[in-house]
Structure 1
């Protein structure tokens, strides 16, 4: 009853079941899009950055537009084309601030650049901040301490966040807001989170970014030393 899968590089994986995730493709075959001058692709409809098709009077949004196939992306696309269609405002769709979540146990979530992508794009300018669930009192109380938040930061500004752990899909919301609005780690650190919550992990992750600067900076040490020496 065992199953073995051998990959092209010779590795062998053994298990009891196989899960096949083949994805999905937009069903456009019956729409006669060619008659309207709308170009299609292998996965759906060809669109530009503003989600406009090759027929300038027609837009395409959601899964059919290719790219990330999430319900929340379709909702985001709708907001983009409404600005363009109803108000005549320039609007383009981007994916850098789009979060995704995988509802495994523990959950996985991501927004912006991964660590590998950020290193490739920013090189030595990148700082990676990590904060473990095991330091969160709510996680300890509920015995769900297996997890990690990782934030990719460039010049004080987050460019990506990865989370594995309890409620990762909820925690990523804050980092999606931060990246979409180009906020800085200081603004996250200034947030007051209710105690004890899993959500406090985000604030603590931001604090972990500043801790080395506070305790390793020579200038800070001098100021602290002066204050301690001369003030009552």
Structure 2
């Protein structure tokens, strides 16, 4: 069998394009097959940026923002010129697209092939597309995912939007004003806050007890309080039982409450784009519509790897890129590297932002003995920079072992996305928490919260060690009297 490529990447996601560029940097011969790439994440972040810039009374015409007059400012503090706002968003996405455009990929040596194809094993493993058989030594699935739609009575007939097409709604002359968002994924929280800041009425329905199930409850509750203070109506521990269209309006049933809305956004999760790939015929097994992969990101066919949200989990670009690097190295060389997510941070682009790395308090308590764990927390209100900039809502929470090893951290507050990277680096390099306490950051700056939180480690250690406290008291008593 003739091998045409070192690796054939079946893309359709940013992770696929990133993987292709990474493989060419290693001097591999690469083919990338894709139909299209979804940039919806960047549209939402661009519009979110507009919402965060806008304040009542401001005029940001280049962003599509105009202040309202005194009669309407209480209900809708800003008005949005959606064509101008979307033009700004298109510009942002266009600039991001250009960084990994097909032209850039081709210039780097990637053989970019547009089309939909499927695996073939007759007579040898290959990928068939556009009446071609692409033969690779290995293959990488980076096809991304699409919204998973829950079975709710009346939803299909009533109509809805998803995370993939929500921003299309704002091309209309009169965009929807009253929204209900079903689902508690990070993007649904970001969009809920963005819409309410842009003058929309928003109801968010989450089926688990807390707004974000993957962070500690105290932090989830703090973020929920912030969203509710801004006007988002939140139902936790509830499900939507039915949807109806009555007299041209959409109605949803949440528990015993009926809500009238202009539009419904379904954001309950994603499902992988794998149906048309003929995976079963080449030995790639699924479990509950998810790819079965090992720690080396190999599927049950050891020549086929996978990365990004096609393998499940939240859609975070940095995690997908981490997986792409592992998968490419394993696919091109010896498959010896294993994924380890313990030091990989992720964030929700809310205001204030929420970022996490490693274990939560509950996860640490399940993994270690309770007496081995110290929980360090500090609030933004004690940070000078937070006071100066009037951004005092927030908390930094570190989970450490008694020997000083950092096993987890969650930050809710301004600059959380930047600060969590420092903690993730410290964890990856086995830097103990006492060294974070010696950080001495620029004053005032938000990094001060890391120093203050880390300092709690030595304070807790001292307060829990009565023998050491007594020794210190005796030592200083002796020295004071000896100096006399």
* TM-score, scaled to structure 1: 0.85
Alignment-derived partner of residue 85 in structure 1: 331
Bigger drift between 19-28 and 210-219 goes to: 210-219
Alignment-derived partner of residue 182 in structure 1: 430
Alignment-derived partner of residue 444 in structure 2: 196
Contact between 2:353 and 2:417, CA under 8 Å: does it hold in 1?
Answer: yes
Tell me the CA shift for residue 119 of structure 1: 2.0
Structure 2 CA distance for aligned equivalents of residues 186 and 226 of structure 1 = 28
Tell me the CA shift for residue 16 of structure 1: 7.7
Consecutive unaligned residues of structure 2, counting only runs of 5 or more, are: 1-177, 179-200, 206-234, 240-253
**Greater strand fraction, Structure 1 or Structure 2:** 2
The correspondence for 1:75, drawn from 296, 300, 321, is 321
Change over 3 Å in CA distance of 1:194–1:231 after alignment to 2: farther
Q: Secondary structure at the match of 2:322?
A: helix
Alignment-derived partner of residue 21 in structure 1: 267
Q: Are 2:379 and 1:127 aligned?
A: no
Structure 1 CA distance for aligned equivalents of residues 395 and 258 of structure 2 = 28
Structure 1 CA distance for aligned equivalents of residues 478 and 283 of structure 2 = 74
The correspondence for 2:459, drawn from 183, 186, 211, is 211
- Which protein is bigger by CA-based radius of gyration? 2
Structure 1 CA distance for aligned equivalents of residues 472 and 260 of structure 2 = 58
Structure 2 CA distance for aligned equivalents of residues 231 and 90 of structure 1 = 63
Q: Are 2:472 and 1:220 aligned?
A: yes
Q: How does 1:18-167 map to 2 (within 5 A)?
A: 20-88=266-334, 90-122=336-368, 123-155=370-402, 156-167=404-415
Change over 3 Å in CA distance of 1:76–1:143 after alignment to 2: same
Change over 3 Å in CA distance of 1:231–1:28 after alignment to 2: farther
Structure 1 CA distance for aligned equivalents of residues 257 and 413 of structure 2 = 25
Q: How many residues were matched structurally?
A: 231
RMSD: 3.0
Contact between 1:51 and 1:65, CA under 8 Å: does it hold in 2?
Answer: no
Change over 3 Å in CA distance of 1:147–1:15 after alignment to 2: farther
Tell me the CA shift for residue 227 of structure 1: 4.6
